[in-house]
Amino acid sequence: MEALQLLGQGFATCFTPLNLSFIVIGVLIGQIIGALPGIGPSAGMALLLPLTYGVPPATAIMMLAGIMYGGMYGGTLTSVLVNVPGEAASVMTAVDGHQMARKGRAGAALSIAAIGSFLAGVAAVTAVVFITPPLAAFALKFNAPEYFLLALLGITACASLGTNSPTKALMAALLGLMIAMVGVDPIEGTQRLIFGQPALLEGIDFLPVAIGIFGIAEVLSSLERSQHAAPMRTRLRDMWLTTQEWAQSRVAIVRGGLVGFLVGVMPGAGPTIASMLAYVTEKRFSPQPERFGHGAIDGVAAAESANNAAAHGACVPMLALGIPGSASTAVLLAALILHGIRPGPGLMTEQSTLVWGLIASMFIGNLVLLILNLPLAPLFTALLRVPYAHLAPGILAISLVGAYASTLGFANVWISLAFGVVGWFMIKLDFPRAPLVLALVLAPLLESSLRQSLLLSFGSLKIFVERPLAAALLVCVVASLAFPLVSTLRRAWALRDVG
């Protein structure tokens, strides 16, 4: 009941002209960013983070979160109408959504995606309302060893799940940790890894790295080829679902939403894995699995419900524990830190207005997105006709000015450019970028809690196994590292048998 009271206060926080307008701006930008291939929600959030310096933290976080889940809705448009996923989490939508569009049912695909995303999103936010407070209260029992292992789990799980090569993902995470070591030691204040460059004394900020790795790198990669695929047309009257289509989709929405939320809550897994898992699950449960891949509306419903539920589910560990579960929540967490707010289990009580305002804003944002995506979908389709070549210069210009504005100096601009190149190579070499960003955000917590733990135990590593909670987390860390190792070995054995 207390949660509902606090949620009521959250709605009161949202219902100010400033906050409402920023929620609408956030979801609108998210919708557009999601629809445009070549830039994902994480990139959009990183690029627009400097724009939030002039507004209160709660308003800023509501807007950035709007971009995060708005992107899940927007990605559908390009997947269905162009057969190019607007962002990674819409990959599975393209499989059946575009087939539906080719059969003249693009409107129905967009409709069920919007309805599924809305229902699963609202259900996921409701779950966030009831799960986050007890989890945060439980996490107040955590001490340095648990925090160290939780941060480590966030990194290892992100690196282990959903990547082709866990070694590559772990290397990316390690690079993030190495970058975070640059600057001044947080406990003794000693200079570290500055390689004689005074500009590095303050360390390497999260923002220019994220702008470079996500924003600049994605634009560079997209501009390699000057391609522009014209989207298929859709009309408002085509968006009505038939009774049969609705009957096929409703259980898929429930299943997809559930799978998505559970995957989203897990540290490291994100909306992309959620949508893939939900699609596969739906195919397995379907009485006619052969329809999948040929325009199955339940496939679209499951994938879209899952990615939106996962985007909201990832907020649970972020709000309750201060551990981001995905690249987008890592940017959200960084935004909190940049606005002078300390994340962690204390956030729910210390920043109650912000947290409940954010949760309430997600209900409002999902409703706005439903309106944007049902009657206004044909309008957004027109946006897809703008050639990417005319959008890219704006994205790059905002990237550079955003990096400059964060410290009013060109050092961050150079860092952004350098990481733009690093990110481009990571895309080319198929290295995942999310673990790098996640590790960069979690590194300060990881290092300080590790050193505090060893200080508490007089240097003994037993502290990580003697405490039951720490021991349980250690098992999870080991499992997250062992899982990819075992699968790699199995792959090697399978190859040897074949060879």
Partner 1 sequence: MKPSDVVPALLMLVLSAAIALDTRSLGFWADTTPGPAFLPVWLAVAGVVLAVLRLVESRRFRAAGIEWPDRPAALRVAMILGGLVAVPLASPLLGLVPALALFVAFLLLAVLRQRLWPSLATLAITVGVVYGIFVAWLGVPLPKGVLGI
Give 197: exposed, middle or buried? Use CB within 10 Å, 0-12, 13-18, 19+: exposed
Write down the least CB distance from residue 424 to partner 1, Å. 7
Q: Quick count: other Cβ atoms within 10 Å of Cβ 219?
A: 22
Residues in 4-23 at the binding interface with partner 1, rule: CB under 8 A: none
Find all residues with CB under 8 Å of 108, minimum gap 6, and list them. Answer: 100, 238, 239, 240, 241, 242, 245, 297
Please answer whether residues 255 and 102 qualify as being in contact, where contact means their C-beta atoms are separated by less than 8 angstroms.
Answer: no
Single residue of 17, 54, 287, 340 touching partner 1 by CB under 8 A: 54
Write down the least CB distance from residue 264 to partner 1, Å. 28
Residue 417 near partner 1 by CB under 8 A: yes
Q: Looking at beta carbons only, is 208 or 231 nearer to partner 1?
A: 208
H-helix segments, 237-326: 243-265, 271-285, 297-313, 315-321
Report which secondary-structure segment, H or E, holds 487: helix 468-498
Q: Looking at beta carbons only, is 18 or 421 nearer to partner 1?
A: 421
Q: Helix 388-407 crosses helix 41-48 at what angle (to 10 degrees)?
A: 50
Residue 437 near partner 1 by CB under 8 A: no
Q: In degrees rounded to 5, what are phi and psi of residue 184?
A: -120, 135
Residue 491 near partner 1 by CB under 8 A: yes
Please answer whether residues 271 and 311 qualify as being in contact, where contact means their C-beta atoms are separated by less than 8 angstroms.
Answer: yes
Residue 493 near partner 1 by CB under 8 A: no
Residue 190 near partner 1 by CB under 8 A: yes
Residues in 147-166 at the binding interface with partner 1, rule: CB under 8 A: 165
Single residue of 39, 413, 470, 481 touching partner 1 by CB under 8 A: 413
* Closest-CA residue to 454 (of 114, 239, 148): 148
Q: Looking at beta carbons only, is 17 or 459 nearer to partner 1?
A: 459
Residue 382 near partner 1 by CB under 8 A: no
Write down the least CB distance from residue 155 to partner 1, Å. 11
Which two structure tokens, joined as six digits, stand for 91? 């990959």
Residue 441 near partner 1 by CB under 8 A: no
Residue labelled with tokens 């410290």: 407
Single residue of 15, 53, 138, 285 touching partner 1 by CB under 8 A: 53
Q: Looking at beta carbons only, is 53 or 138 nearer to partner 1?
A: 53
Residue 280 near partner 1 by CB under 8 A: no
Residue 223 near partner 1 by CB under 8 A: yes
Residue 187 near partner 1 by CB under 8 A: yes
Q: Quick count: other Cβ atoms within 10 Å of Cβ 9?
A: 14
Residue 405 near partner 1 by CB under 8 A: yes
* Closest-CA residue to 332 (of 74, 67, 64): 64
Amino acid at position 456, single letter: L
Helix (H), strand (E) counts: the chain: 23, 2
Write down the least CB distance from residue 167 to partner 1, Å. 5
Residue 291 near partner 1 by CB under 8 A: no
**Applying CB under 8 A, which residues contact partner 1?**
50-51, 53-54, 165, 167-168, 170-171, 174-175, 177-178, 181, 185, 187-188, 190, 192-193, 195, 216, 219-220, 223-226, 387, 389-390, 392-394, 396-398, 400-401, 404-405, 408, 410, 413-414, 417, 420-421, 424, 428-431, 446-447, 450-451, 454-455, 458-459, 488, 491-492, 495
